[in-house]
Structure 1
């Protein structure tokens, strides 16, 4: 798992022992958001899966949440886009996200990092650029129970 995904994971996890969607549903939604967000970027963009978590650990004690939860995440490297146009891509994705019920959580530094959360379901996404010209799209679920219901504590 990338450090970037680990940051998203540690902050995307909610607390409590309430029922959730299943891990399979979380994986489907993560992939769906990843695919749909691409609508905002030029057609010539190429996406390579950089890292993936099907049932990543989400028992981070720092979130004060229940143990034994999991999360789904995908990190895609975006290639084929000119570094000089990165600000335009950030603007396009910001607009797309805001038009699809996401709110901005962090945009610092501008045109290098943009992190959003869906208002309805807590899924988070981010666009990140680096000085080497890399561009990455990440989608992460909130913490969920594998089968949708809390695991009884023994």
Structure 2
């Protein structure tokens, strides 16, 4: 899998997970881009990247965030993801990883009343060689 394919898979994961949220939900992509996996020496190029996409979820009142995380957790559990962190009830944060392909997702609410859904890939090489 190359970086372009990993980015498409990350987007597909996000779109699929959004189907478990209320129909009125609007998702806005707020960040997208490769993140280097490797520390680069002075003049050496970074060769491995993580595909990463962040969505801000709109049109859900903060009092419904807990139910949204419950729905996402149920969807993730039914689609091959395992829980890495579930910070509830103290915090509204859940982080999961797909048991087979290693792609990760997280949902988090912040103290400004915003809800985010993130998806990332494992490290991939930009050209698609094994990482």
Distance 1:47 1:79 in 2: 6
Distance 2:114 2:39 in 1: 29
1:60 Cα shift?
4.4
Which residue of the other structure, out of 22, 30, 41, is the alignment partner of 2:21?
41
Distance 2:25 2:39 in 1: 34
TM-score (norm 2): 0.89
Which residue of the other structure, out of 65, 73, 95, is the alignment partner of 1:86?
65
When the two structures are aligned, how many residues end up with a matched partner? 125
In structure 1, runs of 5+ residues without a counterpart are 1-20, 62-66
| Cα RMSD for the two superposed structures | 1.7
* Larger proportion of strand: 2
Return closer, same or farther for 1:60/1:114 CA change in 2, 3 Å cut-off.
Answer: farther
| Partner residue, 1:68 | 47
Q: Deviations over 1:44-63 (max 9, x none)?
A: 1111111111x3211148xx
Return closer, same or farther for 1:73/1:81 CA change in 2, 3 Å cut-off.
Answer: same
Distance 1:71 1:33 in 2: 15
Which residue of the other structure, out of 114, 117, 126, is the alignment partner of 1:134?
114
Matched, 1:147 2:127: yes
Return closer, same or farther for 1:82/1:101 CA change in 2, 3 Å cut-off.
Answer: same
Return closer, same or farther for 1:134/1:45 CA change in 2, 3 Å cut-off.
Answer: same
1:150 Cα shift?
5.2
Which residue of the other structure, out of 55, 77, 80, is the alignment partner of 1:98?
77
Deviating above 6 A after TM superposition, structure 1's stretches of 4 or more consecutive aligned residues are none
